[in-house]
Amino acid sequence: MGRDSHLYRGDQAVGVGARLKQVTRGVKRELAVYRLVMVDSRTPRPAKILLGLAIGYLVMPFDLIPDFIPVIGQLDDILIVPGLVLLALRMIPKAVVDDCRAKVENADKPNL
């Protein structure tokens, strides 16, 4: 296989499977952060609502624009969820997000 079948980070080749695992772990970590942010008392109510809407839209069995409509059907998923999350994160104090990220990262570390 040629150079095109792998992603490269520096001099190290990262296979597609390894990269997919990294992305999956990152998404799980961010969802854990958002879950903590939503229950934190310092998070403004509008931000909690927006995060709830984003998660609800993600798991909703139907879309506002059906996926069988070419391009636009998939585009709504790609734009709506991240848009709601980014809007919510702008409303949340940075200290809250940083604290929640630290809690998630500390929970991921093995106890020695």
Q: What is the mean pLDDT of each run of 10 residues along the chain (112 residues)?
A: 52 74 89 93 96 86 76 81 94 96 86 59
The total of other beta-carbon atoms located within 10 Å of residue 60's CB is: 10
Structure tokens at 81: 């969820």
pLDDT reported for residue 1: 47
pLDDT reported for residue 97: 96
pLDDT reported for residue 89: 95
pLDDT reported for residue 112: 56
Distances (CA, A) of 88 to 23, 28, 74, 83: 22, 18, 22, 9
Q: What is the pTM of this model?
A: 0.70
